[in-house]
Every structure is written in C-alpha cells, then in structure tokens.
Amino acid sequence: MTAVRTAPVTATPPADQPPVPPDRRRVPYLLLLPGLLWLAVFFVVPLFTLVSTSLQTGSLEEGYALTFSWSTYGGVWTTYGRQLLRSFCYAGSATVLALLIGYPLAYAIAFKAQRWRNVMLVLVVAPFFTSFLLRTLAWKIVLADDGWVVGTLQAVGLVSDTGRLLATPAAVVLGLTYNFLPFMVLPLYASLEKMDPLLLEAASDLHATPMTAFRTVTWPLSLPGVVAGTLLTFIPAAGDYVNVQFLGTPTSQMIGNVIESRFLTVLDYPAAAALSITVMAAVLVLVLAYVRRVGARELL
Amino acid sequence: MPERAGQQHGPRDLRLVGLRKAFGSAVAVDDLSLTIPAGSFFALLGPSGCGKTTTLRMVAGLEIPTAGQVLLGDEDITRRRPYERPVNTVFQSYALFPHLSVEENVAFGLRRRGRKDVKGVVAEMLALVELAGFGRRRPGQLSGGQQQRVAVARALINEPEVLLLDEPLGALDLKLRRQMQLELKRIQTSVGSTFVHVTHDQEEAMTMADTIAVMNAGLVEQLGSPRELYERPASRYVANFLGQSNCLDGSVVATQGDETLVEVHGVRLLVPGRLGPPGSPASLGVRPEKARALPWDAALPADSAVRDPALRNAIPGTVTDVSFTGLSTQYVVRTAWGEDLGVFSQNAGGEAPVLRGDTVVVAWRPEHTFPLAPASVVAEEAAEQPLPRPAVPPTMAPLGS
Ligand SMILES: Nc1ncnc2c1ncn2[C@@H]1O[C@H](COP(=O)(O)OP(=O)(O)O)[C@@H](O)[C@H]1O
Ligand SMILES: [Mg+2]
C-alpha cells in the first residue's frame, strides 16, 4: 500500500511483539487435518486408482493389466464425443433455464418476501426431503402422454396432437432444471440477501432507472451467486444419467449413461475410467474458461 | 465547473408544504412547512429519531409523503421518481457501490444521464474533496472519512439544485470533522446549490448553516439564523438544545413600554417584549455566560442595582458548585426556592472570586433575557407527542455536557 496521509497504516508488527507460541502455530494444521485426511482417502486415492485403471489394457476374459497405454483415451474421444457434447448441451440448457427461473425467485425471496422469507426458503429446499430418484420418476408421470401437461400444451397448440414430451430432449432438460434448481436459487439468494437495499436507493437518487439500477448495481453484485449457482447446477447436471434414463431415450444418452454402462454393464473398466477422466478434464476447462470470462475470480 | 445540465430556470426555492409522513400509527414527520431559499445552506437540527432522515427522503423521492407537497419553485415534485429529480443525496451510511472504483462511483450519476467525457470532471471533483490519486481504489479500501468524501463527491458532481446531506460527518473524528465542515461550506459557496444538511450536532449546524430549523418529534420548533436561535430561543427545548440556558417560570406584573416586568418567586425581572396582561403566566431564560455571580455585599449596596443595568435582573442564591475549566469557571447557584442556575464566568481576571457556600447574586442585563413559551403549554405539547424527546431536564442541561 502506498503511504498516504490518512490511509490506515499497515505497518509491520512492532519488533517487541511476543513470538507466536509453537503450539498456537500448530492449530491451523490440526484444524485442517480431518479435511485433508478425508480428501486423501476419498478423493486422491480413488483418483489415482481411476487414472491407473484408465491406463490398463486387456479384455474382460483375459483380465486387465496396467500397461501405461494412453490408447484408450483416443478411442473414447472418437466414440463418445457426441454424448459428451450432448451432455454439455443439456446441462447448459438446464443451467440457463434454472438461472431464468431461479434469479427472479431468489430476488423475490431476498427483497420482497419479508416475513414469508423463511417459509419460501424451506419450500425451495423441500424437494430434498424426497429421494432424487422418486422425484425424477414423478416427473415421468407429470410429463406422461396422457398427463395434464401434455394435454394442456396440445390444447394450446404448443405441442401437436400426436406430439409428446416424455422421451424427448426437452423432458430431460426440464428434469435436470427441476432437480438442480435449489442449487441455483440458494447461492443466488445468499448473494442478493447480502446486498444493501440502500444501494438501489442510491442508484435511483443518482438518476438510474430501475432497469439501469438492476444492470449496474444488482446484477454485478449478485455475480458471485450467479457463478456459484451456475457451477453448482452445470457440473452435476453434466454428469447426470438418471434424468435421461427416466425421461429421455436410449438414443439420446448423456455421457453419464455411457460411463455407467461401461462400468456396470459392459465391465470395460479402462474405457469407463478414461471417459470419467476426460469428462472431468473437459468440465474443468469449461469452468475455468467461464470463471475467467465472468471475471469472478476476485469476487468468489 | 460545467454548466448545470438541462436547467432552463433560475434558482428555485425548495418548499415543503404541510409535509407529513406516518409509518403505520407512528408519525415520523408531522405537518412540516418550510421554505428553503435557493442557494442557502440550510440545517435541519434535531435529536435522533425526530424525523430528519424521513424529511430528506421525502425531498429525494425515496419516501412518498402521507400528505403535503414538495415544491421546487412552483413545480410540484412530490410524486416525481427519485431519478427524475434534480436532487442528490449524501446518505447517512454513504451507500457507496462496493463493486465500483471510486472513479466509477463518482461518475455514476453523470453516466446515467448519458455523459461520456466524464474523466476530467471526475478528476476535478476528486481533487476538490482531496482524493486525487484514490480513483482506482474500491470503497472498501478507504477509511471512513475518505468514503464520506467520495459520497459527497458522488452527489455533488451532478450539480443538483438541491443537495441533501444526511449527517454526513457523523463517522468522522473531531479534527477531520471540523476540516470537512469548512470544506463543505466552501464547496457550497462556490457551487451555489441549495444544501440541506441534517445533523444532531448543534455546533455543526451553527458553524455551517445560514438558517437552522430545530426539529423536535416531527415538528419544527424554531427557524432562524444561528445567532437568532441562540440569542432568542423561543422555547425551552430550543434554549437547551442549542447550548444551555437557565429557564424560569413566573407571572406578568406589568408592561413597561417595550419591556415586561415578570415576577419569579418574588423576584422581579425585566424581559424584553410584551408577554401579556398582568397575572398571566410567563417564562424567561438567560444564557449562563450572560449571567454573573457576584458576592452579595458587592452586588447590592443599597439602590445601585436599580441604576446599574448590568445588575438590573438579579436573583440571590447560594453557590453549590464551582468548577474551573481553564477558559471559564462554571458556577451552580441554588436559589431560595431550590432551582439551580448556571453561571459561566470567563477567566478574564478582575471579578472577585466566589467560593462554594458563598451567598451570591446572579445578575444579568435585561436585554440578555429571552421570553419563552410558558411552561404549561410546552408541557402539554410534550405530553401529546408519542415520539421520544431528548433527555434534557426542564430547567437546565447539566453543566459542562
Ligand atoms: N421505514 C420506517 N418504518 C417505520 N418507522 C420508521 C421508518 N423510518 C423511520 N421511522 C420512524 O420515524 C421516526 C423518525 O425517523 P428518522 O427520520 O430516521 O429520524 P432521524 O433521522 O431524525 O434520526 C423514528 O421514530 C423512526 O423509528
Ligand atoms: Mg437519521
């Protein structure tokens, strides 16, 4: 910091300050220990196993052996590139939808709900009280061909008389949106709730119309929530396979379905592992590009 | 400084007409009528919770009045949106945009009105509030005093017809506060906008304002120049809110020309002005620094009191407390009927020293006496007010507060 007359002086601590006692210095490390252990056992070790599995070759009958061959990776790209792309498209659409639905909702809870605020927050989280699988199955009923949603849409003419929702990409995206909406709403709410409403009055006082005030004050201040919410929605949605299974078709599989069947049905472990790592890397690259683009690194 | 944007009219007075604001059953501002002359430095002075912020918010458009009007000249702006008013506010808590640099905070208002070439003006404004070189920082990286100056710059750069300042100096330490008071006064003189300055600090209001309105529980108690308010407070409330006063209750004996003779517990005192027919209740006050405490024998050699106007108003009593503050000595004198009177005596030398326990006479010139609204009326008014009043004892604020 430059030395400025009125700026608070952040000088080095005075020399006569007593040194931190050794056992005090150990405290942060002790506090970190459980977390680090957890990560080591349940993240680092499995990751190593996964990488080493992906470098095995062989067949189910003869058994797989570690050969440090990267050949599996090349095959994975060419064979399953389409599913990977589709996953990102579905997850991206679901994220955008969730943002469009979640932002007004979070805004309303933060600024307009007043004494209903806690009730509304509980309602947002309420779906978590039922199992993920059950909720997705319920959507199968909601979107059924003879259900009221399709019936209404047909009556309005948005869906042709023979048209359907179930087993379409739209159903999968809707299911993903529904399932991950709370992950969008909660961080958005947290960042909006922190905002001082007086800032909007100040913007208004400084000749900003409500729209401009939103664009120049509310939106930028909620960006950390937007980034957190979109990541928390996009990442699990991109790896999801349940929604396609219940609401989609076998021909429109997402990458999660492929990995699941490689691991559990075909038992092609190296390919499944390579696929997992590829997805992880791709998501990581996307996320980094996105976060860099939004410039939210300093905000987070 | 560039010409004021889009202003086709001359200077316009700000007028509040019968302004009232109720939050549910609580009345924050009650039938407030004020005319604030264009280009003046106007102070709204009152204790916390008396409705100052609410008044400003109604002028800014952030609060819709329950009744009454806000006028600029002849134009009714009561229901205009805040962003359409030629009014800007320095908020009590600054309300700086934390995600914008100091420069962008200051440029905010200009940008909203479509100004492109803001760089020069912003730099000029930052220099004016002595923050040149701080433009790139975020508000969070500034001290409270610096943030406060950003808030002033951010409002002032729009060259509003009316600038509203809501206790803008509250967070500053005494030294910076004095400095900013002078600075704001200087800026106001050079810009020529109308400044409406809200404060609960009577000294601040007195040093800065051309006109002060003393507010109490949603009402304006008295309006005037600092000197008028100090020399001629109209009520006990004002008399004790601006400095300290000795207030006495009695009844009218007779009117003598332009003066009235009032009897207080058997002591006859002369008060300027006509206070009503004989027998009617009357209250009066005198500032402690206008009174002297004289030893009994020195003050009353026979009938000299009648001749010496400096001793014309005199009340005997006993000194119960003497405190030496360096600049002055403060005495508390208890009258025969048990009321305490304060006397500040400058340490100019020459006066005979008075000690605790001495019998003295508290004396002052009749023209230094001010008539007050009779105590009974004030007490009734006070009883009707649901909002809190300041903890000032009815006769005198504690000395040395
Ligand atoms: N939004 C509000 N809702 C309810 N009461 C309020 C509101 N704003 C202010 N008040 C009340 O109005 C009175 C005046 O408040 P305010 O104008 O902020 O006073 P000051 O600025 O003089 O301290 C206070 O009693 C306060 O509690
Ligand atoms: Mg206030």
Tokens encoding A255: 């990458």
> pLDDT-based confidence at B217, cuts 50/70/90?
confident
* B400, part of any domain: no
Interface of B with A in 148-187 (CB under 8 A): 154-155, 158, 176
A196 and B95 in contact by Cβ < 8 A?
Answer: yes
The arithmetic mean of pLDDT across residues B179-204, rounded, is 88
* pLDDT, position A251: 86
* B138, part of any domain: yes
Q: Which residue has the higher pLDDT, B223 or A11?
A: B223
CA distance B62 to A114: 19
Q: Tally C-beta pairs within 8 A across A and B.
A: 66
Q: Name the pairing type of β-strands B246-256 and B67-72.
A: unpaired
Q: Which residue has the higher pLDDT, B170 or B132?
A: B132
* pLDDT, position A32: 92
Dihedral-angle region of residue A92 (phi above 0 means left; psi in -120 to 50 means alpha; beta otherwise): alpha
The CATH class, in words, for A80-299 is: mainly alpha
Mean pLDDT score of chain B: 85
Nearest CA to ligand 1 atom 5: B23
Q: Find the CATH number of the domain harbouring B183.
A: 3.40.50.300
Inform me whether the pLDDT recorded for A162 exceeds 80: yes
* B394, part of any domain: no
* pLDDT, position B290: 92
Contact by Cβ (8 Å): A245, A261: no
ipTM greater than 0.85? no
Mean pLDDT check: name the lowest of A11-15, A61-65, B73-77.
Answer: A11-15
pLDDT tens, position by position, A251-288: 888 999 999 988 888 888 898 999 999 999 999 999 89
| Domain co-membership, B126 together with B180 | yes
| Domain co-membership, B361 together with B341 | yes
CA distance A38 to B215: 64
| Domain co-membership, B132 together with B84 | yes
DSSP 8-state symbol, B300 = -
* B144, part of any domain: yes
* pLDDT, position B356: 87
Q: What percent of chain B has pLDDT over 90?
A: 49
The arithmetic mean of pLDDT across residues B254-263, rounded, is 88
| Domain co-membership, B211 together with B259 | no
Inform me whether the pLDDT recorded for B1 exceeds 90: no
| Ligand 1 atom showing the smallest separation from residue B47 Cα | 22
Please give all residues whose CB falls under 5 A of ion ligand 2, grouped by chain where several chains appear. Answer: B 53
- By Cβ distance, the residue of B89, B98, B145 closest to A205 is B89
> pLDDT-based confidence at A10, cuts 50/70/90?
very low
CA distance B357 to A234: 85
CA distance A121 to A293: 30
* pLDDT, position B8: 62
Q: Which residue of A has its CA nearest to B154?
A: A206
* pLDDT, position B307: 59
Contact by Cβ (8 Å): A162, A207: no
| Domain co-membership, B164 together with B229 | yes
* pLDDT, position B357: 87
| Domain co-membership, B232 together with B258 | no
* pLDDT, position A298: 53
| Domain co-membership, B139 together with B259 | no
Backbone angles phi and psi of B43, in degrees to 5 = -115, 135
Q: Would you kindly state where each structural domain of chain A is located, as residue ranges? A: 80-299
Q: Which of A5, A200, A204, A205 to mutate to test the interface with B (most CBs of B within 10 A)?
A: A205
Ligand 1: residue of B25, B53, B91, B165 to mutate (most ligand atoms within 8 A of CB) is B53
pLDDT tens, position by position, A92-133: 999 999 999 999 999 999 999 889 999 999 999 998 898 999
* B397, part of any domain: no
Q: Find the CATH number of the domain harbouring B316.
A: 2.40.50.140
* B175, part of any domain: yes
Numbers of helices and strands, H then E, in chain B: 11, 20
How many domains does chain B contain in total?
Answer: 2
| Domain co-membership, B232 together with B257 | no
| Domain co-membership, B299 together with B228 | no
DSSP annotation string for chain A: ----SSSPP-PPPPTTSPPPPHHHHHHHHHHHHHHHHHHIIIIIHHHHHHHHHHTEEEETTTEEEE----HHHHHHHHHHHHHHHHHHHHHHHHHHHHHHHHHHHHHIIIII-GGGHHHHHHHHHGGGGS-HHHHHHHHHHHT-TTSHHHHHHHHHTSS-TT--STTSHHHHHHHHHHHHHHHHHHHHHHHHHTS-THHHHHHHHTT--HHHHIIIIIHHHHHHHHHHHHHHHHHHHHH--HHHHHHS-GGG--HHHHHHHIIIII--HHHHHHHHHHHHHHHHHHHHHHHHHHT-TTT-
The answer to whether the CB of B49 is under 6 A from ligand 1 is: yes
Residue A131: count other Cβ atoms within 10 Å of its Cβ. 10
pLDDT tens, position by position, B302-319: 555 455 777 888 899 999
| Domain co-membership, B150 together with B285 | no
The arithmetic mean of pLDDT across residues A219-235, rounded, is 94
pLDDT tens, position by position, B79-134: 999 999 999 999 988 999 999 999 999 999 999 999 888 999 999 999 988 899 99
| Domain co-membership, B276 together with B331 | yes
The arithmetic mean of pLDDT across residues B173-191, rounded, is 85
CA distance A252 to A8: 61
Residue range(s) defining the domain that contains residue B170? 5-236+376-384
CA distance A62 to B359: 119
The answer to whether the CB of B93 is under 6 A from ligand 1 is: no
* pLDDT, position A198: 94
Q: Count how many residues are written for chain A.
A: 300
Tokens encoding B10: 């001359």
| Domain co-membership, B191 together with B46 | yes
Q: Which residue has the higher pLDDT, B38 or B10?
A: B38
